[in-house]
Amino acid sequence: MARRGLLLILSSPSGAGKSTLSKRLTAWDPSIRFSVSATTRAPRPGEVDGRDYYFRTRDEFIAAVEAGEMLEHAEVFGNFYGSPKAPVEKALEQGHDTLFDIDWQGGQQIRNSSLGRDVVSIFVLPPSIAELDRRLRSRAQDSEEVIATRMARSKDEISHWAEYDYVLVNRDLDLAEEQLKMILSAERLRRDRQPDLMDFVRGLNGEFETR
């Protein structure tokens, strides 16, 4: 039976594991469309425009927001990030799930949008703040100043955990991955995500009448 797609929002403070979990989930089910965000920040080594992000100037980004072309957007660490609306709407109609690796601000905007009924939101917590700090440092991508800024911001981000449908504590990455898969599998089976289910049941009832 046909199924309407869903919007899977995955959020966490930086370093808690949402990006790694996102990559594992799309490797497990390649049919999941990863939402490619637009951003005004400069590309990091190895990043490709259109694959990792749509890299835009501030003027280009602001123009897209004003034209209503962004499903959500926010300014984070001095740069704009946002999700183009058109590919998400198309994926929903075609029965494809779209995964969003975004912060609580973006998640809140999508939940409050016209597509809010299609959202399944999950917040990932670290097992401790000390472990969060260790993970940020082990990536060796950011300066001490940036790490300090991210750690300071994490308290505010964690305060929004109760706004989400599900909360995972990422003590063990493999376990968190399995829990994430279970959530997605269950949500796909919700009655309101199976538009052909009513016709299917009518068909079953029709079979009773012909017995």
Q: Is 95 annotated as a binding residue?
A: no
User: How high does pLDDT run on average in the chain?
Assistant: 91
Q: Is 22 annotated as a binding residue?
A: no
Q: How far apart are CA 24 and CA 21, in angstroms?
A: 5
Q: How far apart are CA 23 and CA 16, in angstroms?
A: 14
Residue 194: CB atoms within 10 A of its CB come to: 15
Q: What is the pLDDT of residue 29?
A: 96
Q: Over 90: is that where the pLDDT of 163 sits?
A: yes
Q: Is 16 annotated as a binding residue?
A: yes
Average pLDDT over residues 9-32: 92
Average pLDDT over residues 62-82: 91
Average pLDDT over residues 76-105: 90
Residue 193: CB atoms within 10 A of its CB come to: 19
Q: What is the pLDDT of residue 1?
A: 66
Q: Is 30 annotated as a binding residue?
A: no
Residue ranges per structural domain of the chain? 7-203
The model's pTM: 0.81
Q: What is the pLDDT of residue 65?
A: 94
Q: Is 13 annotated as a binding residue?
A: yes
What would the pLDDT profile of 100-128 be if each residue is shown by its tens digit? 988 888 899 999 988 999 999 999 999 89
Q: Is 19 annotated as a binding residue?
A: yes
Q: Over 90: is that where the pLDDT of 7 sits?
A: yes
Average pLDDT over residues 182-192: 94
The architecture in CATH of the region 7-203 reads: 3-Layer(aba) Sandwich (3.40)
In this prediction, residue 211 has a pLDDT band, given cuts at 50, 70 and 90, of: confident
Q: What is the pLDDT of residue 8?
A: 97
